[in-house]
Amino acid sequence: MRHKGFTLIEILVVVVIMAIMVSIAVLSIDVGGRDRQIDQEGRRLVGLLGQLHDRALLEGRDFGLLIEADAYEFLVYDDIRGQWRPFDADGEFRRRTLPKGVSLQLALDSQQVVLTPAGPNPAADAPPPAPQLVIAASGDGTPFRLTVLRAATGAKAVVSGDALGKISLAGADHPASAS
């Protein structure tokens, strides 16, 4: 007479399949509550500003970061023309527009700076306005606190820099990692 039921192997196979399904669901939902776009943009800013600092020291040129409410652009100072110009328009230092719902907030010397959204494209030959953040050829920089924020959820990452060019990132899951 056969007993009705499941063998141990069958039960283990079902448990493994369920574990895989739960893992996929947890990863797609991101139960931790992190906002990956905010984290990614914060890390990108830290990395690019660090590279720009090194480049300023190596090349002996002044660089800047022009920040708008929903975009940012890297600039280089043209000594011959005496004005700021877009830097590396097609490469890693190209103009970047933030994803929908994400914005930037800037504080200089503990004073909040009013940032405007990017307007219509200016004339191609017109120089951009002066940047809010400058990294001098000596390596000195503008002390700042730049917040990448999603207003709908309150998720944010804070990129800070001091006058000596030290850049750090603080956010929900990275309290103060220095670069």
pLDDT tens digits for the chain (179 residues)?
677 888 899 999 999 999 999 988 777 655 555 678 888 899 999 999 999 999 999 999 999 999 999 999 999 999 898 999 988 877 888 899 988 888 999 999 888 888 876 555 555 566 678 899 999 999 898 899 999 988 888 888 999 999 888 889 987 544 444 44
Domain ranges of the chain: 36-119+130-178
Determine which helix (DSSP H) or strand (DSSP E) holds 157, and give its type and residue range: strand 155-161
Which pair of structure tokens corresponds to residue 2? Answer: 């056969």
Q: CA 147, CA 109: separation in Å to the nearest integer? A: 14
CA-CA distances (angstroms) from residue 110 to 106, 137, 152, 160, 163?
9, 25, 24, 12, 14
Domain 36-119+130-178 carries which CATH code? 3.55.40.10
**pTM (two decimals):** 0.71
Q: CA 109, CA 154: separation in Å to the nearest integer? A: 23
Contacts of 30 (CB under 8 A, 6+ apart): 36
